[in-house]
Chains A and B, each alone.
Chain A
Amino acid sequence: ETGVTQTPRHLVMGMTNKKSLKCEQHLGHNAMYWYKQSAKKPLELMFVYSLEERVENNSVPSRFSPECPNSSHLFLHLHTLQPEDSALYLCASSQAGADEQYFGPGTRLTVT
């Protein structure tokens, strides 16, 4: 596999479920990002991990919990989500401090 991969590609979950989104990068990068792309807003940065340390959390509700066990993997743990959380969740990676970010294909999340 090359680039940035995300699984699952599609996820439907109820408001009481717990699920996790997974991202893996094969580019040798050391910074990873979660973005939310919803129908009514531009791409919104959620979390940034640099050298496996969370360096940014853009006022994201606690029902979203990121985890970065190593520089190649990033998770987004989801629990008690709301219907308005339905969106495309995109993962990206870069070299720490570098500008260019490479995106995965996204996970299309629907909360029912």
Chain B
Amino acid sequence: GESVGLHLPTLSVQEGDNSIINCAYSNSASDYFIWYKQESGKGPQFIIDIRSNMDKRQGQRVTVLLNKTVKHLSLQIAATQPGDSAVYFCAESMDTGRRALTFGSGTRLQVQP
């Protein structure tokens, strides 16, 4: 399931450190944002989402921050673990009567033991 061939930006962190993965989105009318994690050989897995009426949302070990002014989204992972190694995608959508997600190209997170 990895995007082999794409020149994905790669973030390399030490186990136990915090990770921050960034995403710039394109549509100022987007009102919903979601982060997915994709491990090798698997489909994307939901991590956390946020609506445009919020600027921060926390989950278990993860936090998503939304800055609508500069159209920027970030995913923070606390105490990164080897199992967090994967490609992370952000996606955006807007309410046009039906929902369709537009995905970014992804960031590869490598966790060093």
Contact = CB atoms under 8 A, between A and B. Distances in A.
Interface string B89-112: 101010000111111111000000
B43 A103 contact: yes
A105 B43 contact: yes
Given A40-B6, A42-B3, A100 B34 contact: yes
Interface of A: 4, 6, 37-43, 45, 48, 50, 55-56, 88, 90, 92, 94, 96-106
A41 B32 CA distance: 22
A93 to B, nearest CB: 11
B46 A100 contact: yes
Contact of B104 (A40, A42, A97, A100): A42
Given A39-B5, A42-B6, A106 B43 contact: yes
Contact of A99 (B6, B99, B104): B99
Contacts of B89: 42-43
18 contacts: A38-B5, A39-B3, A39-B4, A39-B6, A40-B6, A43-B44, A43-B89, A43-B91, A45-B102, A56-B100, A90-B43, A98-B99, A99-B99, A101-B46, A102-B46, A104-B43, A105-B42, A106-B42
Contacts of B44: 43, 90, 103
Given A40-B6, A100-B46, A105 B1 contact: yes
Nearest to A101: B101
